Amino acid sequence: MQRQNHPPQMFRCAYPVPYPSVRVTAPNRQYAELLLEDYTGIVSEFTAINQYLHHHFTLKGINEEVADLEECISLVEMHHMELLAETIRLLGVDPRYRVLRNNQEIYWNAAYVYYGYNVCDKLAADIASEWAAIAAYRDHLQRIGDPYIKELLERIIQDEYHHIRLFNEAMQKYCK
């Protein structure tokens, strides 16, 4: 399925380029295990979604602009999570909220979230988590040979750079 259209509430927080179709060349457990790390590992879309949502909830009434930004970006991370879930399924693995290491399942943990204390501390952690996500995706790009998956990861990275720009703008405005 071609994904040209973003829901309006996330439009501002997604890089304005369409997403590629979700496809794989062939099922591959090793690639699925790498993508599970991006999906629900420590540095993952699921951690980002929950971190930004917590920041959204706790900044409400304190800084509406940053609270709204956190929600908007978390919706884009939710879309990334969906794209990864579909890809992991096509690779032949059930996209449960866990990673697989040496055939052991390690389930996602709410302690992966950086909850934080104030606007600036939360924004700094959010920027750091975007950089960590980009580094992980770049590492996985090196290790995945499937051109369809590579195209998807490259597109997700564009959104993560966009998020760094948006979080940085908020930092400039409120954390001088």
Residues making contact with Fe ion (CB under 5 A): 45, 77, 80, 130, 160, 163
Three-state secondary structure readout of the chain:
CCECCCCHHHHHHCCCCCECCCCCCCCCHHHHHHHHHHHHCCCCHHHHHHHHHHHHHHHCCCCHHHHHHHHHHHHHHHHHHHHHHHHHHHCCCCCCCEEEECCEEEECCHHHCCCCCCHHHHHHHHHHHHHHHHHHHHHHHHHCCCHHHHHHHHHHHHHHHHHHHHHHHHHHHHCC
Nearer to Fe ion, 43 or 93 (CB): 43
Nearer to Fe ion, 29 or 165 (CB): 165
Identify whether the C-beta of residue 91 lies closer than 8 Å to the C-beta of residue 27: yes
Minimum CB–partner distance for residue 64 and Fe ion (Å): 21
Minimum CB–partner distance for residue 111 and Fe ion (Å): 20
Nearer to Fe ion, 28 or 129 (CB): 129
Minimum CB–partner distance for residue 151 and Fe ion (Å): 16
Nearer to Fe ion, 77 or 146 (CB): 77
Minimum CB–partner distance for residue 144 and Fe ion (Å): 17
Minimum CB–partner distance for residue 93 and Fe ion (Å): 20
Nearer to Fe ion, 80 or 122 (CB): 80
